[in-house]
C-alpha cells in the first residue's frame, strides 16, 4: 500500500517498503484500521472476533 507506514514482523523496524530493508522479511501495516460509524463489515469482524475468543476460552 503506497504511503502507509509498515512495520517489520521480525525486527520491529518501521519502513515504507513491503520488505524490511534491515532483515529482508515481510512487513505489515503498523496502525489499526480507521473507525467508521458506517462500517459495512463491522458485523463480520465482530463475529470472527467472538469465534476466536470462544476458541481461546474453551482451552
> Could you read off the pLDDT of 2-59 as tens digits, one per residue?
678 899 989 989 999 989 988 999 998 888 777 777 888 888 888 988 988 887 766 5
Residue pair 8/29 in contact by the 8 Å Cβ criterion: no
Separation between Cα atoms, residue 39 and residue 10, nearest integer Å: 31
Domain ranges of the chain: 1-30
Main-chain dihedrals φ then ψ at residue 45, nearest 5 degrees: -65, -40
pLDDT of residue 46: 87
- Whether pTM > 0.85 for this model: the answer is no
Amino acid at each position: 500500500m503506497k504511503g502507509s507506514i509498515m512495520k517489520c514482523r521480525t525486527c520491529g523496524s518501521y519502513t515504507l517498503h513491503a520488505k524490511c530493508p534491515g532483515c529482508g522479511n515481510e512487513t505489515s501495516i503498523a496502525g489499526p484500521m480507521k473507525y467508521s460509524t458506517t462500517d459495512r463489515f463491522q458485523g463480520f469482524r465482530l463475529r470472527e472476533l467472538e469465534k476466536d475468543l470462544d476458541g481461546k476460552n474453551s482451552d
